[in-house]
Amino acid sequence: MPYTDQQLQALRDALAGGVRRVRFENREIEYRSIEELKAAIAAAEAELAKAGGKPTIRQIRVSTEKGF
């Protein structure tokens, strides 16, 4: 089942409220952890971006230090 914008917003609202239980229309899902909820948000965002024709943006950050 593809994610909808409303489902993504419900996931974000749950994260902002610090709750792990989300209701989509007539379904209710309880995530085991906030990390699992964040992963669901990332998956929904990626799926919606792909469906909308937007490329997934990835960043690589490099950090260096001198060994002193």
DSSP string, 2-52: ---HHHHHHHHHHHHHT--EEEETTEEEE-SSHHHHHHHHHHHHHHHHHHT
**Residue 59: what pLDDT?**
80
By residue range, what is the domain housing residue 18? 1-68
* pTM score, whole prediction: 0.70
Handedness of CA 23, 10, 41, 12 (dihedral sign): negative
Across the chain, mean pLDDT equals 86
For residues 58 and 11, the model is more confident at: 11
Contact at 8 Å (CB) between 27 and 13? no
Q: How many domains does the structure of the chain reveal?
A: 1
Task: Show Cβ contacts of residue 34 under 8 Å, excluding neighbours closer than 6 positions.
Answer: 15, 18, 20
Across 44-54, average pLDDT: 82
**Who has greater pLDDT, 50 or 14?**
14
pLDDT at 22 over 80: yes
Give the lowest-confidence range in 7-16, 17-26, 59-68: 59-68
